Amino acid sequence: MSPPVSRVFITGASSGIGEALARHYAARGVTLGLVGRRVTVLEALAASLPGEHAVYGLDVADSVALGDAAADFMARFGLPDVVIANAGVSVGTLTEMADDLAAFERVLRTNVLGMVATFQPFVAPLRGAGRGRLVGIASVAGIRGLPGAGAYSASKAAVIAYLESLRVELHGTGVRVVTIAPGYIETPMTAVNSYPMPFLLPADRAAARFARAIEAGVSYTVIPWQMGVVARLLRLLPNPVFDRIFARAGRKPRGLPL
């Protein structure tokens, strides 16, 4: 059984899954480090939660600012029990469109390098303590490349592989690396989707399931479980079949703000 969680550091905490996780943990008396670009939103969130929390208004693409935030949190509250790299952006992209090159760069920098920068300041201290959880929020979109979502699918596929590498690197240290691949969760990110989203899960219910997986220290899980079945089936589909089916799939709009 894992020790009680008393300190959690969360990126992308101003909305969606991050906000839901913050509310879930705060309701259980956990001290939070809340990271996001919209500092006023984070401050309002922190003020609405029970307990004492730290707010860090920054972009996870800024590794120096993340390092400073991590150092401040550890100096004020101690080593976190859980670090959740949740910050991510999503937008429709097409390789043929020159205007989308900047979107590709932004998505990959935020979703992949931002995760690395989130974990980096905490790895050595957690390894030294022989405990803790490093949690990366991936996506079912990283299982196979989806049309019109080349940047997002590529970023989440990279995240899944990165987290596996990190998990093996930390094997036997007492630090658990947890990969969570959500399906469709009710968040501002999915609100812009005009296509059907099977097994859509409210963010608060998703957060509770995420927290259980984190506490258990599972290496990899898909939430909700129904999308886990879909993910396994997607892996098994031969390329010609996958291509025919998903060529007609709905696509996220291009040009969304990042």
Q: Which residue has the tokens 């959880």?
A: 133
Name every residue whose Cβ is closer than 8 Å to that of residue 17 and which is 6 or more positions away in sequence: 86, 137, 182, 185, 187, 203, 206, 207, 210
> What is the C-alpha to C-alpha distance for residues 64 and 69, in angstroms, rounded to an integer?
9
Catalytic residue of the set 152, 162, 195, 220 = 152
Pick from 52, 36, 123: nearest CA to 86: 36
Told to judge if 162 belongs to the known catalytic residues of this protein, a careful annotator would answer no
Pick from 252, 180, 254, 257: nearest CA to 213: 180
Helix (H) or strand (E) holding 9: strand 7-11
Bond into 3 cis (ω within 30): no
Pick from 174, 152, 146, 95: nearest CA to 248: 146
Which residues are known catalytic residues? 152
